[in-house]
Amino acid sequence: MASPNRIVELSSLIAKETAVIDGFLTRNQLPTPSLDAYALKSIPIPEEATEIHTARRALIEACSELKALMTGPKDLLKFDWTAFVSVKAALRFKLDRSFAVGDSTTFEDMAEFSGLNVRNVRRIVRHAILNHYFFQEAQPNVITHSGLTAVLAEDEVARNSLIVELDEFWPAGVKLADALEKWPNSEEDNETGFSLANNSNKGMYEILAENPARQERFALYFANPDKTADGIFDNYPWTNVSSMVDIGGSLGSVAIGIAQRFPNVKCVVQDLPNTIAEAESRLPVELRDRVTFMAHDFFTEQPVSADVYFFRSIFHNWADKYCIRILENLVPALKPGAKVVIHERMLPGLESLTTMDARRAINTDIGMQQLLNAQQREMHEWPELFRKADSRFRYIGAKKPTGSIRWIIEAEWQG
Q: Using alpha carbons only, what angle is made at residue 357 by residues 146 and 352, rounded to the nearest 5 degrees?
A: 140
Q: Across the strands, what pairs with 267?
A: 244, 291
CB 25, CB 32: distance < 8 Å: yes
Q: Rounded CA gap, 128 and 295, in Å?
A: 45
316 is known as an active-site residue: yes
Question: Per-residue DSSP letters for 95-162?
Answer: GGGSS-BTBEE-HHHHHHHHS--HHHHHHHHHHHHHHH--SEEEETTEEE-BHHHHHHHH-HHHHHHH
Q: Give the relative orientation of helices 147-154 and 156-164 as an angle to the nearest 10 degrees.
A: 100
Written as one letter, the residue type at 154 is: E
SS3 55: helix
Single out the catalytic residue among 53, 316, 343, 380. Answer: 316
Q: Rounded CA gap, 105 and 87, in Å?
A: 18
Q: Catalytic residue numbers?
A: 316
